[in-house]
Amino acid sequence: MKTVRCSQKRAVNFRTVLTLVAVLALLLGGCCSGKKPQVYRVGVLSGLSFVADIVDGFKAGMAELGYVEGENIVYDVQSTEFDMEAYRSILDQFVEDEVDLILVFPTEATMEAKAATAGTDIPVLFSFALIEGMGIVDSVREPGGNVTGVRYPGPDIAVKRLEIMREIMPEATRMLVPYQRGYPIVEPQLEALRPAAEAAGVTLIEVPAADEAELETALQAQVQSGSVDIDAILFVAEPLTVTPGPFAVIGKFADEHGIPVGGALMMVEGYESIFGVNVQSFSSGKLAAPLADKILRGTPVGEIPVVSAEHFIQINYTAAQKLGLTVPESLLREADEVIR
């Protein structure tokens, strides 16, 4: 019996030693390996304040996927307002900092990001970018290169805006379309809009302008003849008309002549548009998060298909009523949001 007890005691001691050795090895391995939790660095270029909550949507989506800001991911958020030089300066800094990923919006900022990262292995993830004819991706299914993201369905939205304006104003035959001159995504929208307008018997009066002052001059030219032959003002997706200053110029002109404004939902200095068809920017940002997760986990960027955001309809019923317009019940039912 005594021999058995000694044997058992030696066995217990041996197991204890093994356990201690194993624990010590784990502790030493963790301390001496030099490995730290991966912390991803994401450079964010917010290029248009109108859709700046894309950043909030993206962060929310990343948090749901387990990325905790300040612990395993950090964001360097840089904001500007349709400023090409600022875009380039911000992007050059991201490249110099060798960030793990660049999130960028809208379209022209995306184009600059693709150019700035050429020859590097820094992936570019876009949101709210129109890709048709822009040279941003090779195709939706196989974007190629170092770029993928969330597509802005601009041509489809432009046509939908026209359709809604005609539902509210079926007798309208002349619509003024102001936009930023030279802005890259305007032409693809107009290419879709022109035949749709022609088929509906609507004449589009295109008014390109470089800035607020030029826009105001162009609008005043419409009244030089003594009468304003415009039934409605229709916006396409671009930065000029959704910037507060230029929109206030349009709103004042429209108010003076009793002309409804529609396309993007805007409220500035008491001036309002009657409806908007757009992509929810928060949702567009959130849609980008699963793509970012794939990129950070090692999936080649060019193999991740582009996703497309869904349009969102907003009706400013109160503003339409002030103009004596009737919004069809069918349109109110179709709308995602009705402002009363």
Asked whether residue 13 is assigned to any structural domain, the reply reads: no
| pTM confidence score | 0.79
Asked whether residue 265 is assigned to any structural domain, the reply reads: yes
- Do 240 and 170 belong together in one domain? yes
What is the full per-residue pLDDT of the chain (340 aa) written as tens digits? Answer: 444 444 444 444 544 443 444 444 444 444 444 556 799 999 999 999 989 999 999 999 999 999 999 999 999 999 999 899 999 999 999 999 999 999 999 999 999 999 999 999 999 999 999 998 899 999 999 999 999 999 999 999 999 999 999 999 999 999 999 999 999 899 999 999 999 999 999 999 999 999 999 999 999 998 876 668 999 999 999 999 999 999 999 999 999 999 999 999 999 999 999 999 999 999 999 999 999 999 999 999 999 999 999 999 999 999 999 999 999 999 999 999 999 9
Looking at residue 322, its pLDDT comes to: 96
**Residue-wise DSSP of 226-269:** SS---SEEEPPSSSSTTSHHHHHHHHHHHHHHT--EEBS--EET
* Structural contact between residues 281 and 305, judged by C-beta atoms closer than 8 angstroms: no
Asked whether residue 17 is assigned to any structural domain, the reply reads: no
Report the domain count for the chain. Answer: 2
- Do 300 and 319 belong together in one domain? no
Asked whether residue 137 is assigned to any structural domain, the reply reads: yes
Instruction: State the number of CA atoms in the 13 A half-sphere of 2 facing the CB.
Output: 0
Q: What range does the domain containing 79 cover?
A: 40-152+281-310
Residues with Cβ within 8 Å of 12's Cβ and at least 6 positions away in sequence, in order, are none
Question: What CATH number did the domain enclosing 160 receive?
Answer: 3.40.50.2300
- Do 217 and 192 belong together in one domain? yes
* Residue 220, φ and ψ in degrees, nearest 5: -65, -30
- Do 107 and 160 belong together in one domain? no
Asked whether residue 249 is assigned to any structural domain, the reply reads: yes
Cα 321 from chain centroid?
31
* Structural contact between residues 186 and 306, judged by C-beta atoms closer than 8 angstroms: no
* Structural contact between residues 258 and 230, judged by C-beta atoms closer than 8 angstroms: no
Asked whether residue 19 is assigned to any structural domain, the reply reads: no
Looking at residue 17, its pLDDT comes to: 41
Beta strands, E only, 73-231? 73-79, 101-105, 124-129, 147-151, 174-180, 203-209
Asked whether residue 3 is assigned to any structural domain, the reply reads: no
- Do 275 and 288 belong together in one domain? no
- Do 82 and 52 belong together in one domain? yes
- Give the position of tokens 């600022």: 86
Looking at residue 27, its pLDDT comes to: 44
